[in-house]
Amino acid sequence: MTMHITKQSAGVGLWALLIGSESVAQLAMKIGSASLTSLPMGLDWLKTALSSPGVLIAVACYVFSFFTWMLILRITTLSKAFPLSSVVFVAVLLGSWLGLGEHISGLHWLGGLVIVAGIGVMAEGAEG
């Protein structure tokens, strides 16, 4: 049995990879920044940053995101792709709440809903 991957399913997979990697990058950067708060910007700060697992994970995720984004742009127009990338804001909001235990205000949740609604409106108006 051969597995046939359609352009649409490949696109969905790429979007999942992009949203996941960019969201993990943001959360890892937040975690990695904890070891940098007491250091003034300089060589010691840079050495500490480059040895922080959180920062290294974030950098790796950003590199992965870059290549994933390039693949997405090969199959999608920028005018459609860029608004959809805003889902990352909502994913980071959820990750901050679930993974980092951050308090998220009602206005932030409302903002997340507005982002999702806006993406839905733009997707509805998008041409094939």
pLDDT (tens digit, 9 = 90+) per residue, 19-31? 999 999 999 999 9
- What is the Cα–Cα distance from 40 to 57, expressed in whole angstroms? 22
Residue 81 falls within a domain, yes or no?
yes
* Structural domain total, the chain: 1
Residue 112 falls within a domain, yes or no?
yes
Please determine, for residue 125, whether its predicted confidence score (pLDDT) is greater than 70: no
61: amino acid identity, one letter: C
Residue 1 falls within a domain, yes or no?
no
CB 75 within 8 A of CB 11: yes
Both structure tokens of 51: 């040895």
Residue 26 falls within a domain, yes or no?
yes
Residue 37 falls within a domain, yes or no?
yes
Please determine, for residue 115, whether its predicted confidence score (pLDDT) is greater than 60: yes
**Which domain covers residue 101, as residue numbers?**
7-125
pLDDT (tens digit, 9 = 90+) per residue, 65-107? 999 999 999 988 888 888 889 999 999 999 999 999 999 999 9
